[in-house]
Chains A and B, each alone.
Chain A
Amino acid sequence: MLQFVQQLVNGLSIGSIYALMAVGYSLVYSIMNFSNFAHGSVIMLGAYFGFFAMRLLGLPFAVAVLVAAAGTALVAVVLERLAYKPLRDRKAPFLYFIITAMGASIFIDNFVIATIGPTPKMYPDVFGQGPIILGDIAIGRVDLAMFAISAVCLAALIVFIDHTRLGKAIQATAYNMKASALMGINPSFVIILVFAIGGALAGIAGVLYGMKYQVFPQIGAITLKSFIAAVFGGLGSLPGALLGALLLGLIETFVSGYLSTQYRDLIAFIILIAMLVVRPSGIMGKSSEDKA
């Protein structure tokens, strides 16, 4: 029982950070119908932004998180303008978007390797050493921070999407871009907005991920798991991305805890594939005719 609760806590912690990353994939997919594979590289940049803000500029953690979020939001929007907008203007098939995203990702990763170097870097210690003991359960301080910060960000995102005019405009545009334009909603504006939001969350996720592990140029590839979580939950659905990410986090930690770490990814991927066979649109994904 004790181990169960312990794994549950760990799973929620890693799941919450997957969620923070996954919503970026999902938001962009919901509007533009393609998977932005450069998102992982933006997360990686966020980890570096936060690291340099703290190490070089000596900024406090909270400010560093904001700096990273602002930086990655900007990067995401610039990426959209430079890489995807020209494709949109030419009404290019979605495959071109995916290839462009992969190209952008390779470019960013190698740019970081060439300029900053491949050596992993450590964040300064912010939360102190040693786990927090609650009864018989030990919670890592960084894990707790990851969960708390992710939860606050995700809650804010949900309130924004469900209860503000701009949030509704995003939902409307996701459902039907032409119809939203008929309401006077500028599609370009909505696209910039989702890249900025996804980018800002990517930055925060990058900082948290970098704190839990280390900062290195391949973080982006690892965050591909959050993409899997988004697919699992249903690409394009925000609640789906949250649910998929939490489930993936829990599956991973339970497999690691009860079976073996080596089986972790194997089983996670088997579940993913089984899911896609049974329900290709994911747990809460929109069916293909909704997007027609």
Chain B
Amino acid sequence: MSMLEVRDLHVSYGGIRALKGVSLRVEEGEIVTIIGANGAGKSTLLNAISGFLKPGNGEVTFKGGKIGMKASKIVKAGICHVPEGRLIFANLSVEDNLRLGAYLRNDRKKIAADLERVYELFPRLRERMKQLSGTLSGGEQQMLAMGRALMTDGDLVLLDEPSLGLAPLLVKTVFDIIVEFRGLGKTILLVEQNAYKALRIADRAYVLEQGHIVKTGVAREIAEDPAIKAAYLGAKSTPVT
């Protein structure tokens, strides 16, 4: 049984058919990445999985069960979405943001332990725990969004463009953290424009083009595919590392 299974998903919004029959699966403990150009439907896919967009057709199953439509129920089921643009609560402190991640949980001891773990993972957040999160830098806000995701204690983490707009050094940190997430027992579905970096940490990859999955396979092999190299890993988009 796959942790996440998406079958023949069709999503339209604003009169545009953004997803035209997408199927994919994510196994427990995997890092799976979806690469594709801007507008290919990557964010739409994540938004449909986490209940923000209603699919016209198809279904999503999580741990073998159909998941409902309500975003709040989906969080309860154990899917946690770190959206593009982070969407932290800028009007609240860093610690409040993290505690809101645990909004649905009642296991006080485990929450305290998880909070401690987030602070160990992101020492910058501990230094700034009382600060309004709106005053954090972009990189720190990304750390906060990821830390908040850990606090939900979900098993599947959906990451939407976590490296977007970050300085190269921070991009590396973010990808290191994603690998650490897996070490903490999380399964990861990663959407990235930085295909080069994403393919390096992922186990498997799907290539999304104009609402269709056009290619899938082991991440390392996808990275070697000449067509993929030309389209997504060209000299321009490959950062020097």
Contact bitstring A271-292, B, C-beta under 8 A = 1, else 0: 0000000000000001000100
Contact surface of A with B, Cβ cutoff 8 Å: 165, 168-169, 171-172, 174-176, 178-187, 286, 290
A214 to B152, CA, bound (A): 51
In contact, B100 and A175 (Cβ under 8 angstroms): no
In the complex, which residues of chain A have a beta carbon less than 8 angstroms from the beta carbon of B70?
186
In the complex, which residues of chain A have a beta carbon less than 8 angstroms from the beta carbon of B81?
182
In contact, A169 and B100 (Cβ under 8 angstroms): yes
In the complex, which residues of chain B have a beta carbon less than 8 angstroms from the beta carbon of A168?
92, 96, 99-100
A290 to B75, CA, bound (A): 25
Min distance, Cβ A290 to any Cβ of chain B, angstroms: 8
Q: Which 9 A-B pairs have the closest CB atoms?
A: A184-B75, A179-B87, A184-B104, A181-B71, A186-B72, A183-B103, A175-B91, A172-B89, A183-B100
| B49-90, CB < 8 A from A | 50-52, 70-72, 75-76, 80-81, 83, 87-90
In the complex, which residues of chain B have a beta carbon less than 8 angstroms from the beta carbon of A175?
89-92
Can you list 28 residue pairs at the A/B interface with Cβ under 8 Å? A165-B103, A168-B100, A172-B100, A174-B91, A175-B90, A175-B92, A178-B52, A178-B83, A178-B87, A179-B87, A179-B89, A180-B100, A181-B75, A182-B71, A182-B75, A182-B81, A182-B87, A183-B75, A183-B100, A183-B101, A183-B148, A184-B72, A184-B75, A184-B103, A184-B152, A186-B72, A286-B91, A290-B90
A286 to B89, CA, bound (A): 13
From A176, A184, A290, contact of B87 by CB (8 A): A176
A181 to B52, CA, bound (A): 9
In the complex, which residues of chain B have a beta carbon less than 8 angstroms from the beta carbon of A165?
99, 103
In contact, B89 and A176 (Cβ under 8 angstroms): yes
A178 to B160, CA, bound (A): 14
From A172, A181, A187, A290, contact of B92 by CB (8 A): A172
Nearest residue (CB) in B for A181 is B71
* Among A165, A178, A179, residue most surrounded by chain B Cβ atoms (within 10 Å): A179
* Among A169, A174, A183, residue most surrounded by chain B Cβ atoms (within 10 Å): A183
In contact, B76 and A184 (Cβ under 8 angstroms): yes
In the complex, which residues of chain A have a beta carbon less than 8 angstroms from the beta carbon of B101?
183
A176 to B133, CA, bound (A): 14
